[in-house]
């Protein structure tokens, strides 16, 4: 069972802002009930006070539902709740009129006028502000508050209230309604802006991937374009020579074979350059990505400088896979990466506090194909990989690689380590 903290951490930043906005306006409805509904029982008596509390509760419930429907409409998930907004406006006006009637014709008891005035003011302030969530135009949002204020002035004046009193009451309703409406308009604008920024960030990431693919394609074209053109010409020439029985056809095919082998070598070099993982860059990248996800990541121990290229490449893949697992599995808040260069070996450990809940058949998080691919990659240079819970809610991944001085000459490290497919380590 997830704790509230984990439920919150699993949300993206736009989802967090939406949840905060939604519950802020829900709190207005709750505050309305407890500030004037619940407190009306004592001054109005049990029967009349219970009726007033029930009426305010109905209004607060309508506000609660309107907030949810209006924010869903803002995000394009529902149609505009026009009927619900008109219902809330009508109920708001009816309750305000009933509050005035209660003040004029209710029991002649101390506190009745105060309770009725509280219901009147709070209802007329919160109602228009909540309705403003369901309109797009700022003028309409503020116009709703102005319309309720004008209605307040008209009704109080018609009931014989002094002009100054009617004007003061309408001014209070106008200021309060405009403030709540402004809060609603600003909150909706901020929510939409956060979602648009998040979409822009995703678009930028996709464009970066597309640009990298184009660059990779251009590199392959530069490497292969000329050679393939020459191979095609020489193959055509060899065919013509062979058809004429000329011995030069063999020479041309030998040249084609040489060009094909040369092209194969150049393509491997290009691919190797894309697939090799630099340990220093991977450490910095993992720290930045985890920090962006709200995970405190610390990197300590020895530096990657001076380690053999093959060792750095293998450990770079370990860091990349570990960072991916921290993001995709568990609910980590902290992650610690430590690199140690011991006698004849290099040890990299990645530890986080995001152990998933144990399942019915296993007490550890499921391991995907990414860890299996890493073990195969490390095994080719006599390295080992261990991963599993480390006690007290911790999960630790440890990679150990012997240095070439003890496992063999540097050239004996298989070059295929740096050229394996990225898909092999994707969980």
Task: Determine the pLDDT at residue 415.
Answer: 34
Low-confidence ranges of the chain (pLDDT < 70): 1-6, 106, 108-110, 272-277, 292, 329-330, 356-369, 405-427
Q: How far is CA 371 from CA 276, 313, 337, 388, in A?
A: 18, 16, 17, 11
Taking the C-alpha atoms of residue 396 and residue 326, their distance in angstroms, rounded to an integer, is 10
Local structure of 12: helix, strand or coil: coil
Task: Determine the pLDDT at residue 265.
Answer: 81
Taking the C-alpha atoms of residue 200 and residue 131, their distance in angstroms, rounded to an integer, is 30
Taking the C-alpha atoms of residue 65 and residue 278, their distance in angstroms, rounded to an integer, is 53
Task: Determine the pLDDT at residue 366.
Answer: 44
Task: Determine the pLDDT at residue 407.
Answer: 40
Task: Determine the pLDDT at residue 399.
Answer: 93
Taking the C-alpha atoms of residue 325 and residue 427, their distance in angstroms, rounded to an integer, is 8
Task: Identify the CA nearest to 220 among candidates 260, 259, 264, 267.
Answer: 267
pTM > 0.85: no
Taking the C-alpha atoms of residue 342 and residue 400, their distance in angstroms, rounded to an integer, is 10
Task: Determine the pLDDT at residue 410.
Answer: 38
**297-302: long-range contacts at Cβ-Cβ below 8 A with a sequence spacing of 24 or more?**
297/334, 297/335, 297/336, 297/337, 298/334, 298/335, 298/336, 298/337, 299/337, 299/338, 299/339, 300/336, 300/337, 300/338, 300/339, 301/338, 301/339, 301/340, 302/339, 302/340, 302/341
Average pLDDT, the chain: 80
Structural tokens at position 368: 């995907």
Task: Determine the pLDDT at residue 380.
Answer: 85
């Amino acid at each position: 069972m997830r704790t509230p903290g984990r439920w919150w951490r699993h949300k993206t930043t736009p989802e967090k802002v939406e949840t905060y906005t939604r519950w802020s306006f829900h709190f207005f409805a709750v505050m309305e009930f407890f500030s004037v509904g619940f407190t009306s029982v004592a001054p109005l008596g049990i029967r009349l006070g219970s009726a007033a509390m029930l009426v305010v509760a109905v209004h607060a419930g309508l506000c609660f539902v309107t907030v949810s429907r209006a924010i869903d409409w803002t995000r394009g998930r529902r149609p505009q709740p026009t009927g619900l907004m008109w219902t809330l406006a009508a109920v708001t006006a009816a309750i305000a009129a009933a509050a005035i009637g209660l003040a004029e014709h209710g029991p002649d008891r101390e506190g009745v006028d105060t309770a009725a005035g509280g219901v009147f003011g709070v209802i007329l302030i919160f109602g228009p502000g909540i309705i403003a969530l369901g309109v797009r135009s700022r003028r309409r949002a503020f116009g709703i508050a102005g319309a309720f204020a004008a209605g307040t002035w008209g009704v109080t004046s018609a009931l014989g209230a002094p002009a100054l009193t009617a004007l003061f009451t309408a001014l209070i309703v106008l200021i309060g309604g405009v403030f709540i409406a402004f809060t609603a308009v600003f909150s909706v604008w901020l929510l939409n802006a956060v979602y648009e920024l998040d979409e822009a960030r995703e678009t930028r990431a996709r464009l970066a991937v597309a640009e990298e693919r184009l660059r990779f394609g251009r590199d392959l074209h530069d490497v292969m374009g000329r050679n393939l053109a020459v191979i095609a010409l020489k193959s055509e020439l060899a065919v013509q020579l062979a058809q004429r029985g000329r011995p030069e056809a063999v020479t041309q095919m030998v040249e084609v074979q040489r060009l094909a082998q040369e092209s194969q070598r150049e393509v491997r070099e290009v691919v190797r350059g894309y697939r090799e993982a630099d340990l220093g860059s991977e450490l910095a990248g993992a720290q930045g990505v985890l920090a962006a996800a709200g995970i405190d990541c610390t990197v300590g121990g020895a530096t990657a400088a001076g380690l053999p290229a093959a060792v750095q490449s293998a450990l770079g893949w370990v860091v990349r896979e570990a960072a991916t697992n921290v993001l995709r599995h568990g609910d980590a808040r902290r992650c610690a990466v430590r690199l140690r260069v011991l006698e004849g070996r290099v040890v990299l450990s990645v530890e986080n506090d995001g152990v998933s809940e144990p399942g019915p058949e296993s007490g550890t998080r499921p391991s995907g194909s990414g860890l299996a691919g890493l073990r195969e990659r490390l095994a080719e240079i006599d390295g080992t990989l261990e991963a599993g819970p480390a006690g007290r809610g911790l999960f630790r991944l440890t990679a150990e690689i012997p240095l070439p001085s003890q496992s063999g000459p540097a050239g004996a490290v298989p070059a295929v380590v740096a050229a394996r497919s990225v898909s092999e380590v994707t969980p």
